[in-house]
Amino acid sequence: MSHLVAPSLLSANFLQLEAEIGMVNRSEADWLHLDIMDGVFVPNITFGFAILEKIRSISTKPMDVHLMITDPDRYIERFRKAGADVISVHQEACIHLHKTIHAIRNSGAKAAVALNPHTPVILLKDIIADLDMVLLMSVNPGFGGQQFIGHTYAKARELKKLITDAGSRALIQVDGGVTLENARALIDSGIDILVAGNTVFGSSNPEQTIHQLKNC
């Protein structure tokens, strides 16, 4: 499978949101990545169900929803109803991760687990066969524009081995500090999906940048 690209709307110009989503629709992007933050699990607040529903009404790309929130179990059905095609929950936020993952799958969405930079991949050993995706945070979650954490390459290779050994079909996504300069190395280390925020939306030609990320 060729790698996927998921522009992160967190870095878009929110005063021109419809135009920014239209650009993603026209581009070679595969998914639209949406970060949901509650100001508790991470020190930032983004957007909720009403805005997600509006985005869904104009986005032609699958919506990849990353929940950086406490107690995500309370909201899985609502995020699915608002348009989420993929739902990522943080391992660090879930007391009963197996139950949460199956609630996501039962909702009809693809189920994913996100790991903070300090969280070892081995903690997913007993759940990896049930996952559609693992999201590796390559920055500390909460804000865009942070510096990429170099240990992510080794972590991706370790995760790829865990997936292979378990016979899992889970894809590996990376989010944080993804650039045109490190994209190829990330893919070579086992990454299947590149989330790119500032690299795309800060570009003078974002559609061309997405094309470059797809063809790196």
**147-191 tens-digit pLDDT:** 899 999 999 999 999 999 999 999 999 999 999 999 999 999 999
The H or E element spanning position 39 is none
Question: Which residue, among 154, 122, 157, 144, has the nearest Cα to 195 in the 3D structure?
Answer: 144
**Mean local confidence (pLDDT), 89-113:** 98
What's the CA gap between 213 and 184, in Å, rounded? Answer: 8
Instruction: Point out the residues that are catalytic.
Output: 35, 175
- Average per-residue pLDDT for the chain: 96
pLDDT at 111: 98
Entry pTM: 0.96
- Which comes out higher in pLDDT, residue 144 or 104? 104
Q: Return the structure tokens found at 90.
A: 């943080």
pLDDT at 7 over 70: yes
Residues 62-83 have a mean pLDDT of 97
Question: What are the pLDDT digits (tens) for 109-145?
Answer: 999 999 999 999 999 999 999 999 999 999 988 766 6
Domains observed in the chain: 4-214 (3.20.20.70)
What's the whole-number mean pLDDT along residues 99-113? Answer: 98
Phi-psi region of 108 (alpha: psi -120 to 50; beta: other; left: phi over 0): left
| Residue 127: per-residue pLDDT | 97
